[in-house]
Amino acid sequence: MSVIYLLISISIVVALVFLYIFIRAVKSGQFDDDYTPSVRILFDDELKKNPNKSEKQN
């Protein structure tokens, strides 16, 4: 039955990992702007329309 110590320790460690990831995400500013990234992700497709020409500078 002592496997329960192991299992619970593992589950707590996993939860701690998630907590750590959350804190790091907050720290990096991910929650400061919750709109722009959601729009930005859509732009990648648009750019591929003419990828060769987009290098042209004025």
Partner 1 sequence: MDNPNCFHCGNDVVKAEEIVFDERIFCCNGCKTVYEIFSLNDLTCYYDFENAPGATPQDIKGKYDFLDNEDIVSKLLEFDEDSIRIVSLYIPHVHCSSCIWILENLHKLQNGITTSQVNFHSKKVRVTYNPSETNLKEIVLLLSSIGYEPYISLENYDAKKEAVDRSLYYKIGVAFFCFGNIMLLSFPEYFEVGEFWIEQYKGFFRWLIFALSLPAFFYSAWGYYVSAWKSIKSRMLNIDIPIALGIVVMFIRSTVDIAFNYGQGFFDSMCGLIFFMLLGKLFQQKTYNFLSFERDYKSYFPIAVTKMHNDGTEEAIQVYDVNKGDRLLIRNQELIPVDGILISESTLIDYSFVTGEAEPIEKKSGDKIFAGGKQLGKVIEMEVLHSVSQSYLTQLWSNDVFQKKVNQKYKTITDTLSRYFTPALLILAFVSFGYWILIDTSTAFNVFTAILIVACPCALALTAPFTLGNVLRIIGYKKLYLKNATVIEQLAKVDTIVFDKTGTITSNRKSAIEFFGTPISESDAILVKNILRGSNHPLSRRLYDFLPQTEIKKVEHFEEITGKGISGTIEGKTVKIGSAEFIGKKKDNQIKQTSVHISIDDNYLGNYVFDNQYREGLEKLFFNLSKTHDVKVLSGDNEGEREVLERLLPKNTELVFNQKPEQKLAFIENLQKQGKNVLMIGDGLNDAGALAQSNVGISITENVNVFSPACDGILDASQFSKIGYFLNFSKNAMRTIMMSFGLSLLYNVVGLSFAITGNLSPIVAAIIMPLSTVTIISFVTVISNIFSKKG
What span, in angstroms and rounded, lies between the C-alpha atoms of 8 and 52? 55
In the complex, least distance from residue 58 CB atom to partner 1, rounded to whole angstroms: 6
In whole angstroms, the minimum distance from the beta carbon of 7 to partner 1 comes to: 11
Tell me the C-alpha distance between 28 and 37, whole Å.
14
The span from the CA of 53 to the CA of 28, in Å, is: 34
Footprint of partner 1 on this chain (CB under 8 A)?
1, 4-5, 8, 11-12, 15-16, 18-19, 22-23, 26-27, 29, 31-36, 39-40, 42-43, 46-47, 49-50, 53-54, 56-58
